[in-house]
């Protein structure tokens, strides 16, 4: 039995993972954003996503479903940064590396970036100093930090969310409630935190 996961998406069911990543990074136009897409995921496949965070992200539909979940928490910048880094590491041309590194830095790293991710000061400083001569490994540490935060925080909540449980139990998708987050913890704060790592209004 398969469950239809219905939501507004920029993705096509038959697209390979590489195109999924490209569209999540660059978008695919207003017309496609307005189209309702159905992603069919069997309960058995969805259950596998609960085995590990890596297994979730390595599956095209898992990546899209998790991205949708993060949007309900207004923290999609984390997965979008991770995706951008995955794409960046595949760059070969030196000019392309410089161009993409600058775009990632301006979008996710620099102070007051439109989708600034929470990183410790030391990590941001290292990136800032190397951005003029970037390599495909310039964001490795930052990507690892963000991955760890998502794995130990957002992923745990995702596994308890209606979005995920509906898929594993073969239920029709219910309406998603958006919650506004007042702030996110930085990596350093997360390391010390004992309670929930998100504070809600």
Q: Does the pLDDT at position 99 exceed 90? A: yes
Chain segment 117-132, per-residue pLDDT in tens: 999 999 999 999 999 9
Percentage with pLDDT > 70 across the chain: 66
Label each residue of 164-181 as H, E or C: HHHHHCCCCCCCCCCCCE
Percentage with pLDDT > 90 across the chain: 64
3-74+153-177: in CATH 3.30.9.10: no
Q: Where are the domains of the chain?
A: 3-74+153-177
Average pLDDT over residues 9-13: 40
C-beta separation of 25 from 87 below 8 A: yes
C-beta separation of 160 from 154 below 8 A: no
Q: Which two tokens stand for residue 79?
A: 């997965």
Query: pLDDT category, 183, cuts 50, 70, 90?
Result: very low
Query: pLDDT category, 39, cuts 50, 70, 90?
Result: low
Q: Which two tokens stand for residue 35?
A: 């189209």
């Amino acid at each position: 039995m398969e469950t239809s996961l219905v939501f507004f998406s920029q993705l096509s069911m038959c697209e390979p993972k590489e195109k999924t990543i490209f569209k999540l990074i660059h978008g695919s136009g207003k017309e496609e954003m307005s189209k309702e897409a159905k992603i069919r995921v069997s309960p058995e496949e969805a259950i596998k996503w609960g085995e590990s965070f890596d297994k979730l992200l390595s599956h095209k539909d898992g990546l899209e479903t998790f991205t949708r979940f993060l949007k309900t928490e207004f923290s999609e910048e984390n997965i979008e940064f991770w995706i951008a880094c995955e794409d960046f590491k595949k760059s070969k041309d030196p000019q392309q590396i410089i161009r993409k590194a600058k775009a990632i830095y301006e979008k996710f790293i620099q102070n007051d970036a439109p989708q600034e991710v929470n990183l410790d000061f030391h990590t941001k400083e290292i990136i800032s100093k190397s951005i003029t001569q970037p390599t495909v490994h310039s964001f490795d540490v930052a990507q690892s930090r963000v991955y760890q935060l998502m794995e130990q925080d957002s992923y745990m909540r995702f596994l308890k969310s209606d979005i995920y449980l509906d898929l594993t139990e073969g239920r029709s998708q219910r309406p998603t409630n958006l919650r506004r987050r007042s702030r996110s913890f930085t990596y350093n704060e997360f390391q010390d935190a004992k309670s929930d790592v998100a504070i809600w209004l």
